[in-house]
Amino acid sequence: MTLAQASAQSLLSKPFDIHTAKVAVMMGGSSAEREISLMSGNGVLSALKSRGVNAHAFDPAQTQLDQIRNQGFTHVFIALHGRHGEDGTIQGALELMAVPYTGSGVMASAIAMDKHMTKQIWMANELTTPHSVYLKPHEQTRERIKQIIDEIELPLIVKPPREGSSIGVTKVTRADELESAVREAIKFDPELLCESFIEGPEVTCPIIGTGARAKCLPVIQIVAPEGAYDYQNKYFTDSVKYLVPSGLSRELEKEIQDLALKAYLSLGCRGWGRADLMIRARDSKPFLLEMNTSPGMTSHSLVPMSAKAAGISYEDLCLQILMDATNDSAMGVSKEDSD
């Protein structure tokens, strides 16, 4: 057994100890969602400190990752959003360092960050998600782009498949809007995802826990001005209304929670996450849009809002997520390795 394996096995062989743990709250980073991540991370940092956790801010865009071990951090709370934080890259580095971290592992994080790959898994598991067209860079000719409207009826959504917070997302209602929507999306990702627009209420459903312990929190219905639940309205205005209780029937809310939990487990997610969905107005059928494996934790964020409705304070939510931190490589240390 290597020294790193021995250290990891020792750390993970006993429950999280609030009195001995030293926690790095990773925030900021280099993605397009840096500003939001700093807001999330500072909220988490304050919450953990209020519960007596020895927690410190850690920005991987400003500090080398090897300082996680050099500075003696025993756990990492990942409050990064988007690329190089929510896509499996940070998770992979922490696996190599054998440091437990919050949220999903490498593979689930990477898949969930890629909306196209996520949809492939959901469709294979017969989970409802909007019809879509996915184009790699060499396929994005003017002729091919025009054909999208023949395959997906207007209105439709154009988005970069590996961004969050509605960055680069455009709703297209007329054929002459399609090319500009594509140009906007490929500013953020060379690949392109176009989806059928589901007309109806937008909802979100947080999930906390791992495996058989995973459970859904209350569903939130999102009512945005003119249906524009974009980056600005998500984080910097108070014009969006969040309904929790959702105002949906008990049966429909249960259907949404069941679908969200299946979506979460099918991707191999753990710790916590949040499924975003649309409800088709004409028949109240829910459709999965995406899975967030490191959701926002700002004052406008939905997971703490849902948790509050379930009687869980922001501070206790942060502590609960932290106490579920794990590391696959350390957990994989076998008895033979320790002999």
Do 91 and 41 contact (CB within 8 A), yes or no?
A: no
CATH number, domain 3-102+333-338? 3.40.50.20
Predicted local distance difference test score (pLDDT) of residue 331: 56
Active site members: 33, 165, 235, 274, 276, 290, 292, 296
Which of 3.40.1080.10, 3.40.50.300, 1.20.210.10, 3.30.1490.20 is the CATH number of 132-196? 3.30.1490.20
Do 80 and 90 contact (CB within 8 A), yes or no?
A: yes
Q: Model confidence at 300, in pLDDT bands (50, 70, 90)?
A: confident
Predicted local distance difference test score (pLDDT) of residue 53: 97
Q: What is the mean pLDDT of residues 127-145?
A: 94
Predicted local distance difference test score (pLDDT) of residue 330: 60
- What is the DSSP code string of 311-330? T--HHHHHHHHHHT-B-HHH
Q: Could you tell me the pTM of the whole model?
A: 0.87
Predicted local distance difference test score (pLDDT) of residue 334: 37
Average per-residue pLDDT in the chain? Answer: 89
| Angle subtended by helix axes 142-151 and 178-185, to nearest 10 | 110
For 192, how many CA atoms within 13 A lie in the half-sphere containing its CB?
Answer: 25
Predicted local distance difference test score (pLDDT) of residue 2: 45
Taking phi over 0 as left and psi of -120 to 50 as alpha, with beta for the rest, 284 belongs to left
Is 19's pLDDT higher than 80? yes
Is 109's pLDDT higher than 80? yes
250 vs 8 pLDDT, higher one: 250
Q: What is the mean pLDDT of residues 82-106?
A: 94
Predicted local distance difference test score (pLDDT) of residue 277: 97
The residues spanned by each domain of the chain are 3-102+333-338, 111-128+199-321, 132-196
With respect to CATH, is domain 111-128+199-321 assigned 2.170.130.10? no
Q: Across the beta sheet with 54-58, what order do the strands follow? A: 54-58, 22-26, 75-78
Predicted local distance difference test score (pLDDT) of residue 329: 77
